[in-house]
Structure 1
Amino acid sequence: MVRFGVIGTNRITDHFLQAGLTIDHFKLTTIYSRTEEKAKEFAAKYQVEHTYTDLIEFAKSEEMDAVYIASPTALHCEQAILCMKQGKHVFVEKPFASNQQEAERMIEVAQTNNVLLMEGMKTTHLPNFKVLQEQIEKIAPVRRFIGNFCKYSSRYDRYKEGEVLNAFKPELSNGALMDIGIYTAYPLVALFGMPETVTANVIMLDSGVDGLGTMSIKYPALMADLIFSKITDSHIPSEVQGENGSIVINKLSDMRQLTRIDKDGTITDISVEQKDNTMYYEIEHFMNLLYDGLRESPVNSFETSLNTIKVLDQARKSVGLVFPADLK
């Protein structure tokens, strides 16, 4: 049995738990929230006994083995470090941290305390991502990657009415690049490694974060165009283009459908079936790492997480987007 505690009582935590509770030996035992009311409400929903409003006491709890962190990005580093120093394994929601320096600190603490630390990026654990990795050889050499993920935020309407929620606060290291753009950058880095150059263009909001933008990324023999937004929707697929064909990806974050179009025009559906709640696969992977006594994921590796946050840092630097976390 892997006993989980959670930091954060939001929608993504619900999604995580709905997937996790379908996996054998997954058990939710402990909840942290800043307010007792929310902690108790969430505990009643999942029939959990142990709740905390003090983060230090939560981290010390003997009722859990691992922690899922789904708080705002600016809090990931300190919360993860606090839990890891108490011997807890940590599954931290994407993006890993506010910047490269925070990510490096987290990894150092994980290694010092011999605990498992993994970034919760689900895409790279999906069955169809594995298909994509296998099928790329059929269209190689790859020359272009087009990553598109634009999702109108349910919080943006309230933003336009004058209420700035967490999703649009720079002090929480949020915005479109961090929340949505990472879905385009992470699989790119997982497939092709660290690029040579990264530049970006964004539309800034009055709150001090970006609402939408693009990244232009160059490898020695490959270009990538990444499109992301929290203030518009898009229905255009993503694509990997090679000299011998292309692979079209429907909804990059979930990869529910992959289509290979060969150079001669032959069209092949190469998709495999996936579970509806696509967080299932990353949670199962995390638990299997614990069973095997491993302290780093070979899929969502430290190298991939670090290279991805470097890409995001370079993109922010190119447009002058600075978070308070960068100034610490």
Structure 2
Amino acid sequence: MKLSILGTGKIVHDLLEALKHVPEITLTSVFARPKSREKAEALAREWNIPNVYTDYAELLESDDADFIYVGLINTVHYDYAKQALAAGRNVIVEKPFAPTYAEVKELVDLAQEKHTMLLEAVTLLYLPNFQAMQDALKSLGPVHAVLANYSQYSSRYDKYKEGVVLPAFDPELAGGALYDINIYNLNLICGLFGAPEHATYTANRGFNGVDTSGVATLVYPVFFATAVGAKDSASEGFCIIQGEKGWLEMQGAPNELPRVLVHAEGKDCVVEANQYEHRMVHEFQAFARIHATQDFDAVRRSNEQSLCVAKLVDELREQTH
């Protein structure tokens, strides 16, 4: 699978490290805005990427990539993905897909109209340990409580406290704990249990109104789930699922799912099924398989997950508790 990369930021560097383990993907180009051309050229030299573009229209017309990967700032995901889809290109969009449900729905509909593939890059959904969690649920009996926590002190929070607002803490740029970090908890919970009946969000808000940390409570017919996400404080990451016959604990960051402990039938079982240290390897191996086999059922499932989470985030974001 041939891949063109949009962006030169941290997530792109993470992806390039992961692609060392995905030989079925080759890189055709990297795109950056004109002011970031030098960064893109340096990236191309370091990673042997053949082409550098600063004109997006030219890339879409000339580049022969099978997929365009949108690894740019959150607020432009929608615009760049829409242009690529309109040009008949397959697209991978880094999380969060787009700031609103309406935008996600528009992109999904456009991809279906153009018969192109549109995928959201949410690492956890493609990890073997996620499948292990799904498989273990039936051994727990009826579930009555779920608690997920992803709290990581942001490297940009000290600047924020000084009054310097970088994109990660700018609500106008889809910044904040809900979009940036709690989105993984929501993807995990919705991936395992589907959409809740309703949800609430209570947040600690900074001087510009951004949620620096927050708690989402998701109500299902027979249980509740709590998702804690923080950029202003830290703790170990985890997800605990409590059932009548047992419990499950995912130990570690929800975007990596490194270790799963299942306690059922009076005994413990430890699952560490992920095969790579880098969280993005399985994800892009899956994308390559989806392309190679033209697996539009997998695309549909990805889109359904993205729409579920986007609708939930809309509901949570509108609350001002």
TM over 0.5: yes
**Equivalent residues in 2 for 1:178-327, closer than 5 Å:** 178-235=179-236, 237-251=238-252, 252-262=254-264, 264=266, 266-295=267-296, 297=298, 301-319=302-320
User: Where do residues 165-176 of structure 1 align in structure 2 (5 Å cutoff)?
Assistant: 165-176=166-177
- 8 Å CA contact 1:121, 1:300 repeated in 2: no
Change (3 A) 1:140 1:6: same
Runs ≥4 in structure 1, deviation > 6 angstroms? none
CA distance in 1 between counterparts of 2:41 and 2:209 reads 34
Aligned length: 318
Please state how far the C-alpha of 1:298 moved relative to its aligned partner. Answer: 5.5
Q: Deviation per CA, 1:13-55, whole angstroms, max 9, x where unpaired?
A: 1111211232122111111111222221221221223111122
Distance 1:311 1:40, change over 3 A: same
Q: CA deviation at 1:63?
A: 3.3
Aligned counterparts of 1:192 and 1:298: Cα–Cα separation in 2: 19
**1:161 aligned partner:** 162
C-alpha deviation, 1:295, in angstroms = 3.6
RMSD: 1.6
Compute the displacement of 1:90 (Å).
0.8
Mapped contact 2:255–2:279 kept (Cα < 8 A): no
The alpha-carbon deviation at position 169 of structure 1 amounts to 1.5
Asked if the contact 2:6/2:69 (under 8 Å) is kept, the reply is: yes
- What letter matches 1:32 in structure 2? F
2:94 equivalent to 1:101: no
CA distance in 2, matches of 1:311, 1:14: 30
Q: Letter of the aligned partner of 1:21 in structure 2?
A: K
1:268-319 alpha-carbon deviations (Å, 9 max, x no partner): 2133243101211111111111111234525852111101111111111122
**Correspondence 1:52-91 to 2 at 5 A:** 52-91=53-92
SS at match of 2:318: helix
- Tell me the amino acid that sits aligned with residue 4 of structure 1: L
1:241-260 CA distances to partner (integer Å, 9 max, x unpaired)?
10111001112221111111
CA contact (8 A) 1:30 1:63 kept: no
Unaligned runs of 5+ in 1: 321-328
Q: SS at the partner of 1:318?
A: coil
1:72/1:208 CA distance change after superposition, 3 Å? farther
1:16 lines up with 2:22 in the alignment: no
Shift of 1:140: 1.5
Verify the 8 A CA contact 2:219 2:225 in the aligned structure 1. yes
> Contact (CA 8 Å) 2:198, 2:218: kept in 1 or not?
yes
Query: Contact 1:245 / 1:262 at 8 angstroms: preserved in 2?
Result: yes
Residue 148, structure 1, aligned to residue 149, structure 2: yes
